[in-house]
């Protein structure tokens, strides 16, 4: 059973103490998922902050409020970023400039460092080809081809060279506690989660969320990736370490207990989506954009179209890796997926 010990999230600029010396804070995002959770752990020499939110003037202001308020003016000495997505790494550079040490997995740091330097005025030819292969609506494709795409640097502060690497199996001493680093994949490569040895506490980032599943997307950077396999393997690997009493501090939504049930639920949810996708393809071959209905069971609008497309490709790629489907290129340049 999943339970939520804290029914109300902290207001902007405020914090909730979820365990002695562990603060939960929430920062706004300008999208449907309108927030990201960040955490601060008290050390003798100051604070270790886990994740940072986007780099915007408003969020910088909220951090200033947090530092003079809940953080009591003590310095942020370390910033641990769980994965490379902008809502988690966005303001890491600001804290580094103020003297904090950056702690990340190697893949997460390399991805963030590479993407923050990769600025495009228009989508690359590889991205256009990827959208075409996915069967993106021609009107939307033509529109996006002539628009400036989202650039990582739009919401991520410059990242100076240098970081402290963590990896799976490492043991960290933060906030007066001892933590085991366990790595998850699927939503983001080499995403760090922290499992406390001293009390039933887990920093779960986007790998361990209640109620929603993070996007398991495929992109032009690795068009044949199989994030669904990575995700399912990670969930299975976490199960032996999960107990009902652990308080999970997620990257979004509310802290929760009942992790074993939630992990099984997440595994079953994606197996269910794959079963619906197989049934959909059994009727007729499909392009990826024709697979939204069985996967999401809701209307996909222009604002969510991109995320829906990359996750549809992710599930189709998984069936391809299993040898259950094959794909051919149709007259419009899209992959046409069929059961084998």
- Domain membership of residue 110 (yes or no) is yes
pLDDT given for residue 167 in this prediction: 98
193, 82 Cβ separation under 8 angstroms: yes
What DSSP state is assigned to residue 71? T
**Domain enclosing residue 247, as ranges:** 16-123+152-282
What is the pLDDT averaged over residues 66-95? 98
170, 103 Cβ separation under 8 angstroms: no
User: At 84, phi and psi to the nearest 5?
Assistant: -85, 0
- Domain membership of residue 114 (yes or no) is yes
- The full 3-state SS of 112-178, as one line of letters, equals HHHHHHCCCCCCCHHHHHHHHHCCCCHHHHHHHHCCCCCCHHHCCCCCCCCCEEECCCCEEEECCEE
Whether 67 has a pLDDT exceeding 90, the answer reads yes
Q: How large a percentage of the chain has pLDDT more than 90?
A: 95
Pairing mode, strands 101-105 and 164-166: parallel
pLDDT given for residue 242 in this prediction: 98
Q: Any long-range contacts for 263-267 (C-beta under 8 Å, 24+ apart)? A: 263/208, 263/235, 263/238, 263/239, 264/239, 266/213, 266/231, 266/235, 267/232, 267/235, 267/236
pLDDT given for residue 22 in this prediction: 98
pLDDT given for residue 298 in this prediction: 82
pLDDT given for residue 56 in this prediction: 96
Domain count along the chain: 1
Whether 214 has a pLDDT exceeding 90, the answer reads yes
- Domain membership of residue 249 (yes or no) is yes
What is the pLDDT averaged over residues 233-261? 98
- Domain membership of residue 47 (yes or no) is yes
- Domain membership of residue 333 (yes or no) is no
Question: Which one, of 95, 112, 80, 86, lies nearest residue 33 by Cα?
Answer: 86
Question: 105 by DSSP, 3-state: which?
Answer: strand
Q: Quick one: pLDDT band at residue 32, thresholds 50, 70, 90?
A: confident
pLDDT given for residue 33 in this prediction: 87
Q: What is the pLDDT of residues 183-195, one digit of tens each?
A: 999 999 999 999 9
69 Cβ partners below 8 Å, 6+ apart?
A: 13, 14, 15
pLDDT given for residue 63 in this prediction: 98
What is the pLDDT averaged over residues 116-139? 96
Rounded to whole angstroms, the Cα distance separating 249 from 259 reads 11
Rounded to whole angstroms, the Cα distance separating 132 from 81 reads 34
Q: What is the mean pLDDT of the chain?
A: 96
User: 334 — alpha (psi -120 to 50), left (phi > 0) or beta?
Assistant: beta
pLDDT given for residue 169 in this prediction: 98
- Domain membership of residue 221 (yes or no) is yes
- Domain membership of residue 204 (yes or no) is yes
- Domain membership of residue 97 (yes or no) is yes
Rounded to whole angstroms, the Cα distance separating 320 from 318 reads 5
Whether 322 has a pLDDT exceeding 90, the answer reads yes
How many alpha carbons fall within 13 Å on the CB side of residue 333? 10
pLDDT given for residue 297 in this prediction: 80
What is the pLDDT averaged over residues 163-187? 98
Strand partners, 4: none
Q: What is the CATH number of the domain that holds 119?
A: 3.60.15.10
């Amino acid at each position: 059973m999943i339970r939520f010990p804290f029914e109300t999230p902290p207001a902007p600029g405020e914090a909730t103490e979820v365990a002695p010396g562990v603060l939960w804070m929430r920062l706004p995002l300008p999208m449907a998922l309108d927030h990201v959770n960040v955490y601060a752990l008290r050390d003798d020499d100051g604070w270790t902050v886990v994740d940072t939110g986007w780099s915007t003037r408003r969020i910088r202001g909220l951090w200033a409020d947090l530092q003079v308020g809940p953080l009591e003016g003590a310095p942020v000495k370390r910033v641990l970023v769980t994965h490379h997505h902008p809502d988690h790494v966005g303001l890491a550079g600001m804290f580094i400039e103020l003297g904090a040490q950056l702690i990340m997995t190697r893949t997460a740091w390399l991805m963030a460092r590479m993407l923050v330097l990769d600025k495009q005025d228009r989508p690359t030819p590889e991205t256009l080809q990827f959208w075409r292969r996915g069967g993106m609506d021609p009107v939307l494709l033509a529109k996006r081809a002539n628009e400036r795409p989202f650039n990582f640097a739009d919401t991520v502060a410059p990242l100076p060279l240098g970081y402290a690497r963590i990896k799976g199996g490492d043991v960290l001493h933060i906030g007066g506690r001892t933590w085991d680093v366990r790595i998850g994949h699927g939503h983001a490569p080499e995403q760090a989660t922290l499992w406390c040895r001293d009390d039933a506490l887990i920093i779960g980032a986007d790998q361990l969320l209640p109620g929603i599943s993070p996007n398991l997307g495929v992109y032009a950077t690795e068009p044949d990736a199989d994030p669904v396999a990575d995700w399912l393997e990670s969930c299975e690997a976490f199960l032996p370490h999960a107990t009902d009493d652990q308080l999970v501090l997620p990257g979004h939504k509310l802290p929760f207990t009942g992790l074993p049930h939630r992990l099984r639920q997440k595994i079953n949810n994606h197996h269910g989506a794959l079963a619906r996708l197989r049934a959909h393809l059994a009727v007729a071959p499909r392009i990826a954009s024709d697979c939204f209905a069985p996967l999401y069971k809701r209307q996909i609008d222009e604002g969510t179209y991109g995320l829906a497309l990359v996750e549809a490709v992710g599930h189709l790629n998984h069936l391809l890796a299993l040898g259950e489907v094959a794909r051919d290129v149709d007259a419009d340049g899209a992959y046409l997926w069929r059961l084998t």
